[in-house]
Amino acid sequence: MSHHTGSVPGPGRDPEWQDRAACQAPGIDKEMFFPERSQLTAIRDSKTICWTCPVIQNCLEHAFRNHEDRGTWGGLTEWERRARHGRKPKNAGRSGGVNAPGRRSRNAA
């Protein structure tokens, strides 16, 4: 985890919507929104909170506008946001994943 605590970070903080975010409710552990990729329970739990949030669209727009490259914002993980913008993950090619060097796609002969 990134050891993030406190309110939503980042440039362009907009308390108009951020103070109404579900993740800002008392008792919500902010760390759960900044999980490692392997922490599937934390990812699922953070998304569950996001999907109940009244400002989910504002949050997602903030993430895209400010190029947030860590954490769950607007119900999407950093990897999901990168995929939507066609950006490769920062560790692309190192994990042996689908797009890693040496892997053949289904269409390869």
> Is residue 104 in a domain?
no
> Is residue 96 in a domain?
no
> Is residue 7 in a domain?
no
Q: pLDDT per residue over 7-37, tens digit each?
A: 454 456 677 899 999 999 999 998 999 998 8
> Is residue 94 in a domain?
no
Reference 68, options 55, 58, 56, 82; nearest CA is 82
> Is residue 40 in a domain?
yes
Q: pLDDT per residue over 80-109, tens digit each?
A: 998 887 665 554 444 333 333 343 344 444
> Is residue 33 in a domain?
yes
SS (H, E, C) the chain: CCCCCCCCCCCCCCHHHHCCCHHHCCCCCHHHHCCCCCCHHHHHHHHHHHCCCCCHHHHHHHHHHCCCCCCCECCECHHHHHHHCCCCCCCCCCCCCCCCCCCCCCCCC
Structural domain harbouring 31: 15-84
Tokens of 3: 């050891």
Q: pLDDT per residue over 39-52, tens digit each?
A: 999 999 999 999 99
**pLDDT for the residue numbered 43:** 93
Q: For the chain, what is the domain count?
A: 1
Quote the pTM value: 0.66
> Is residue 54 in a domain?
yes
